[in-house]
């Protein structure tokens, strides 16, 4: 398991690195937000431990950037900022957990193990495309962390499209495989539902994900 630690206090960073490496983890350290951003883009990590008060780019902003780039990587905020307002800001930025300094290393270790275990358990139930997430267990949809409410038919349509992302799906396919209906060429019901879905998942977001391929059908892709 590989961890990215963004922490500007070298003594604290060294202490954390020594602890995790003694447990068999691999841990990279970035001492400022810009270096952390470069490391996150360059390498693949199972979890990020992120201080807030760091040089160049603060932890809250960096958390947002990380979640925009890969919202599947869990982030634990590790900071001396312990007010409710700060915790709220952290979770709104996309943090999955929040641990206040000073801390016991054993607690940080337990939290890392718990959050990565939870991530593995949820992996099969969460379908993603860009910043769009569909949780097949909870039957919930979100984009950029914002919940999107769908009707049962809209959800079924989106689930089918995301399971077949990058593929052009015809109206016949949607009628038969999503709603188990014979396709009536004289009705525009599928187009209506596509438009409803597009307004909900694309209108207020970028990039647009749901595309019409004239004469062929629809495709969900970046």
Can you tell me the distance from the alpha carbon of 18 to that of 16, in angstroms, rounded to the nearest whole number? Answer: 6
Per-residue confidence (pLDDT) for residue 72, from 0 to 100: 79
- pLDDT for 96 equals 87
pLDDT of residue 131: 93
What is the pLDDT, as a whole number, of residue 122? 52
pLDDT score of 11: 93
d(CA 18, CA 10): 12
Residues of the chain predicted below pLDDT 70:
118-124, 180-186
CA dihedral 195, 198, 203, 209 (to 10 degrees): -140
- Give the integer Cα–Cα distance in Å for 17 and 24: 11
What integer pLDDT is reported at residue 121 of this predicted model?
53
| pLDDT for 120 | 58
Going from the C-alpha of 52 to that of each of 37, 82, 87, 146, the distances in angstroms are 14, 11, 11, 23
Per-residue pLDDT of 42-74, as tens digits, reads 888 889 999 998 999 888 999 989 988 887 788
Q: How far apart are CA 130 and CA 205, in angstroms?
A: 11
Give pLDDT, residue 189.
Answer: 85
What's the pLDDT at 183? Answer: 55
Q: Is the pTM of this model over 0.75?
A: no
**Domains of the chain with CATH codes:** 2-123 (3.40.50.2300), 130-220 (1.10.10.10)
DSSP E strands, 14-72 = 26-30, 47-50
């Amino acid at each position: 398991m590989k961890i990215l630690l963004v922490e500007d206090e070298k003594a604290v960073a060294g202490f954390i690195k020594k602890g995790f490496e003694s447990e068999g983890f691999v841990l990279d350290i970035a001492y400022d937000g810009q270096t952390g951003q470069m490391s996150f883009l360059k390498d693949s990590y199972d979890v990020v431990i992120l201080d807030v008060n760091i040089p160049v780019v603060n932890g809250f902003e960096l958390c947002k950037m990380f979640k925009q780039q890969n919202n599947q990587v869990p982030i634990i905020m590790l900071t001396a900022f312990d007010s409710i307002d700060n915790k709220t800001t952290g979770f709104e930025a996309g943090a999955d957990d929040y641990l206040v300094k000073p801390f016991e290393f054993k607690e940080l270790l337990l939290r890392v193990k718990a959050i990565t275990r939870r991530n593995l358990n949820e992996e099969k139930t969460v379908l993603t495309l860009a910043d769009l997430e569909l949780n097949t267990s909870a039957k919930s949809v979100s984009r950029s962390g914002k919940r999107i409410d769908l009707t049962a038919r809209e959800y079924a349509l989106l689930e089918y499209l995301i399971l077949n992302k990058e593929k052009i799906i015809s109206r016949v396919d949607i009628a038969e495989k999503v709603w188990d209906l014979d396709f009536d060429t004289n009705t525009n019901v599928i187009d209506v539902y596509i438009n409803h879905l597009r307004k909900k998942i694309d209108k207020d977001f970028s990039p647009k994900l749901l595309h019409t391929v004239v004469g062929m059908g629809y495709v969900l892709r970046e």
